[in-house]
Amino acid sequence: MLSPMVTLILASDEMMDRAMGHVLPYTLFEIPGLGISFTNHMFMVLTASVLVYVVFAYTARQTRTGTTKSLDDYTTDGKFAQFFETICQFIRDNVVKPQLGGMTDRYIPYIWTVFFFIMFSNLLGMIPIGSIVGGIAFALNGMGISIPQYHGWYAHWWGTSTGNIAVTSALASVSLVAIIGIGIREQGTKYFAHFAPVPFKPIGMAPVALLLVALEIIGLLVKCGVLAMRLFGVMVGGHLVIGVMLGMIFLFGSYIVGVGMVLLTLGLSILELFIALLQAFIFTFLTTLFIAAGAAHHEHDEHHDHDDELEHGVEPVAAEAHA
C-alpha cells in the first residue's frame, strides 16, 4: 500500500502533470483522415534526428581536406567541430575498434549514429522548454497580454523521447537487425552456427541441440530487449524521482521544504546529466559487443591447438609448441 504522502502526490493530476511533463506522452495534433496522432515524443525523435544531421554536416565541412596538401588542410577548424571529432575518435578507437578490429571502419557510421542520437535525445529531454514557455505565458498574462495558460497546447512540445518504451524498443529492434545483418554479411551462412553450439548427431543429441538453439535465439532477443528496457527505465526513473520531489513542495506548502527540494533536485539534475551521457555510451558499447559476437571470424588456425588438445591430450600439444 502506498504511503499517504505518495498517494496525495499521485492524486493531484495538475501536480504530476507539471512535474512529469518531460516523461509523459502528449498528443499534439492528429493527422486528418489517417487517425494518426503526432505526440511530443515523435517531435523529439524528429528534433534529435535533424540535430544529429545538422551538427555533423557542419562538422564534416570543418574537417574536409583541401587540395594544397598543406598542414592546414588536415586541421579541423573551430572548437565546435573539434569537440565532436574528439568524441567520434574516442568511440572509434576505445569502444569499437577493440571489438570489431578490421571491421571497424565498415560499421562505425552506424555506431556513431546510435550514440549521438541517444545522447542528443537524452540531453534534449533535460531542457524544460515547456516550463520556460509556460513561465513566459504566465508573465505575459500578468502584464495584461492575453496568452493561453500554462497547460495550453504549446506546453508539452518538449520531452524525453528515450523515456518512451516504444522509442527505445525501436532502437533495440534496429540494433537486432544490425547484429543479424552484419553477422550474415561477415560470415554468410556460417553465422547461424552460433545458434547451434552442439551438433545434432548422434540422434540422441538432437533434443538437446534443438533446446540449445531455442535458448540461443531467446538469448539474442533478450539481449536486445534489455537494451530497450535499460535505457527506458533509467531515463524514466530519474524524472520520476524529480517529479516526486517537486510534488512535495506543493504537498507541504513550506518554504523550508521548497528550498530543500529545489537544492536536492538541482543535485539530482546534475547527476542526470552524467547519466544521460553514460546511457548513450552503455547502449553503444553493448550494441558493439553484440555485433562483434556475431560477426567475429573464427579461423581454423585459432582453434587448431584446442582441437588437438581434445583429441590427443594437452602434453603432446605443449611439447610440439615448445619444440
Query: Distance of alpha carbon 34 from its chain centroid, rounded?
Result: 30
Answer whether 159's CB lies under 8 Å from 26's CB: yes
For the chain, 323 residues long, the average pLDDT of each consecutive 10-residue run is 44 50 71 77 91 92 69 74 91 92 90 94 82 71 64 68 91 94 88 79 76 89 92 84 76 79 83 89 94 69 41 44 43
DSSP 70: S
Pick from 110, 63, 105: nearest CA to 84: 63
Q: Which residues pair with 38 in a beta bridge?
A: 29
Pick from 21, 7, 323: nearest CA to 160: 21
pLDDT at 20: 58
Q: Domain limits of the chain?
A: 36-65+75-125+160-298
In this structure, what C-alpha cell is assigned to residue 176?
537486432
pLDDT at 182: 92
- List of residues 6+ apart from 110 with CB closer than 8 A: 178
In this structure, what C-alpha cell is assigned to residue 101?
578490429
Neighbours of 185 (CB within 10 A): 13
Measured CA to CA in angstroms, residue 160 lies from 114, 240, 271 at distances of 16, 12, 16
Pick from 246, 244, 275, 250: nearest CA to 262: 246
pLDDT at 23: 66
pLDDT at 69: 63
pLDDT at 225: 93
In this structure, what C-alpha cell is assigned to residue 24?
509523459
Q: Is 37 helix (H, G, I), strand (E, B) or coil?
A: strand
Distance between CA atoms of 114 and 210, rounded to whole angstroms? 34
H/E segment holding residue 264: helix 255-295
pLDDT at 10: 44
What pTM, to 2 d.p., does this model score?
Answer: 0.78
Answer whether 77's CB lies under 8 Å from 62's CB: yes
